[in-house]
Structure 1
Amino acid sequence: MPLDADTFDTLIGTIRRFVTERLRPLEGAVEEADEVPADVVAEMRELGLFGLSIAGEYGGLGLTMLEECKVAIELGRTTPAFRSTFGTNVGIGSQGLVLAGTPAQKAEWLPRIASGEIITSFALTEPDVGSDSGAVKTRVVRAKDENGADVYRLSGTKRYITNADKAQLFTVMARTGDEPGGRGVSAFLVPRDLPGVSIGEPEKKMGQKGAKVADVTFDETPVPAAYRLGAEGEGFRIAMQVLDRGRLHISAVCVGVAERLIADCVAYARERKQFGKPIAEHQLIQAMLADSKTEALAARALVLETAAAKDAGANTTMEAAAAKYFASEMVGRVADCAVQIFGGAGYIADYGIERLYRDVRLFRIYEGTSQIQQLIIARETLKRGG
């Protein structure tokens, strides 16, 4: 159930102030240190940001998809690294458990995920497996532990795993049988402290400094049978459902970043003068602002309409892919226009435009590349008969 209007308005106002007054002043420091300060993370926990999507019975805020997208838009108005701090707990790191977990699994993990006591990660991508997510090579085999209990021995390497450096719980997709493609993939909850789990050094990235990604390797890791999510062979389906939801969240963040960039461009264009007048009065600058604003408005409408449809129980696989495709490509174009409007200042770190230009490039890659979204949109369109 959605929050009542007054409560939700209060939440939005609180997050908006947190972004404006607390997070934005720290953007440069986070970029330089490649780390979100611990006191900021503690404040995020107090605000309930780690439990936005988790039901109230487990200590979360239990937001609907539409409410979550509206919150994500607000969070998009600062560097995406801040949102990534709790983003896996809200999205891909927890939603497999929400969708397919048993009551016992949910009771064990969800309260700690919602509070931010533990950080979660979603381990699907591998060194040789990216867009072809049904081709995972990480494998589990049934075995017995030293006490005779049923376990799965998990072996393989996952790559580019967000928040892996801090995660205490991984949702891992691994092959359980000989069936090809997604039919042979199962999902498992894997605590970090199990034997054979090792985390690589965080990668040096183009953007989104402060949000770490790293390899995760499993070497004969004994995963209790009780930690399997769903039945054997259901992992790929679970992963796709998780990604459907995650794509909408990321789309909303893209809208927020675009709106932030447009606001920065408007403020700069009103102050910066060339040829004796503010550049905001030059028609070619106005054209870039007009294009950016139109695309941002279109993306916002698509994201919120799709989120409302998802809350109503509709199949939104195609619409979520379309939102992710359009919004992530849109924010890239808006960021490019922002650099152009700022001119030389847009290329200089002091203004923050070049940082956001680098940050938004990732949106076209993770949660499924733009090309994968195109394939999903086309497939679903053909399936539905146009």
Structure 2
Amino acid sequence: MRRSIALASAFTAALCVAHAQENRVQTVTSQTGKVRIETIARGLEHPWGLAFLPDGRMLVTERPGRLRVVSKKGQISEPLSGVPRVFARGQGGLLDVALAPDFASSRLVYLTYAEPGEGGTAGTAVARGRLNDAATGLDNLQVIFRQQPKVEGPNHFGSRLVFTPDGKLFVTLAERFKFDPAQDLSGHLGSIVRINPDGTVPNDNPFVGRQNARPEIWSYGHRNIQSAALHPQTGALWVAEMGPRGGDELTRPEAGKNYGWPEVSWGRHYDGRDIPDPPSRPNFAGSVHQWTPVISPSGMTVYTGEVFPAWRGSLLIGGLSASSIVRVTLDGEKITGEDRINLNARVRDVRQGPDGAVYALTDADSGRLVRLTPEGGS
């Protein structure tokens, strides 16, 4: 009897292991062949941002306000100490993470987050701190940028961090679902800002010295940008921002330009009211591409690796409502094609790893970190 129970238990355990392995790896078809999707880690609560440490481990933010280290094999650390207090409501919380360009010597880690203010207000902020040698916490945390003004509401915080080769830092923001302030240069709502690594303002920013304009602003008239990357060949900043009911936009923002929100949009207001299409107002800068139906872009990288040769030079964009990584091919600034790698989950961030594979975070109560490689590849 005991032997029968033991055999049954062993059989059940074997089935559980086989089922877990089956769920850990899946294969999907793309235009360039079959793609293997391996779950590296699971159980992350609404993971938002991903950055690779020099040794291959990963820093991952969780929106409720936790920063963790994930090993190459998927072990998830305890939450790191020294992380700022966040406004963890609605779309707010701990957002993007990036390493300083001189991380090898400085060990500085940058975070964007929804920062609570007085009377229930909040705004996007950027902080930096030194990752201690044990990688268990951030020391000497310093807030280097605060979006002004702070306003009420739980929606539209942006935000991505993108360093340039000359050490400047782009921070993509949002209009906090307040619409008109995106056209107001006296505040940061609806803008992309460009700052030095210590938060000071570069002298060549477009609105430096202009009265009633925030000197950090690089471009404005944006809605909600959660997707941004620098093209390694051209040095151009690319962003994808969320439209309302339709009209997600892929844009290459330029210094000082106004991209029109909420005066123009390829989408419509949520109550059904029409918004003039961008071509009707040529005084506003335009987008390179738009998606209707939307993909809800979040996270972006320009693929340069050897693991997917056919993907080199493509924009890889996380799609929340698309439940895919959206691969966009370019010829200069012209869109030449699109492919969707279906993850069957909300894709919050996408990055190229040091091994040339593609890594993505899925947005869920129990989110995953996944690794994409060609079927039969590394």
TM-score normalised by structure 2 residue count: 0.25
**Relative to total residues, which structure has the larger helix share, 1 or 2?**
1
**Relative to total residues, which structure has the larger strand share, 1 or 2?**
2
Answer 1 or 2: higher relative contact order, Cα 8 Å, separation at least 6: 1
